[in-house]
């Protein structure tokens, strides 16, 4: 929320409001119950723990996710899970042995 407040304030020329939003965010994250729960870099906050939102069908990751992409996905795969029939394997995850190559 702090990042969004900062963006809004700067878009509207309200740098004083952006500064107050940043100070409020830093103050809240310095509270003993929140200390160590994530990293605040500028206006960006990244959690240290997982909320498991990525497990919801079609969800992706939350806004302050500790993962750069949903667990189990490679860099080249989409953030959105694809629709597959129940019990089917994702592409490239075949468990059957490959036939030997002929020379």
Residue 89, pLDDT above cutoff 70: no
pTM: 0.53
> In the predicted model, what is the mean pLDDT of residues 25-44?
90
CB-count exposure of residue 38 (10 Å: 0-12, 13-18, 19+): middle
Q: Name the residue with tokens 């969004």.
A: 4
The model's pLDDT over 36-74, given as tens digits with 9 standing for 90+, comes to 998 888 888 888 888 888 888 888 888 888 887 778 766
Domain boundaries, the chain: 2-55
Predicted local distance difference test score (pLDDT) of residue 76:
58
What whole-number percentage of the chain has pLDDT above 90? 26
Predicted local distance difference test score (pLDDT) of residue 16:
93
What whole-number percentage of the chain has pLDDT above 70? 70
> CB–CB of 26/40 below 8 Å?
yes
């Amino acid at each position: 929320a702090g990042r969004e407040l900062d963006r809004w304030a700067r878009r509207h020329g309200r740098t004083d409001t952006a500064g107050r939003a940043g100070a409020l965010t830093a103050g809240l994250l310095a509270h003993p119950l929140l200390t160590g729960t994530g990293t605040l870099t500028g206006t960006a906050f990244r959690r240290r723990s997982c909320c498991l939102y990525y497990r919801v069908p079609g969800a992706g990751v939350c806004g302050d996710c500790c993962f750069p992409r949903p667990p189990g996905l490679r860099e080249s795969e989409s953030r959105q899970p694809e629709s597959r029939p129940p019990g089917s394997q994702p592409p490239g995850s075949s468990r059957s042995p490959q036939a030997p190559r002929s020379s």
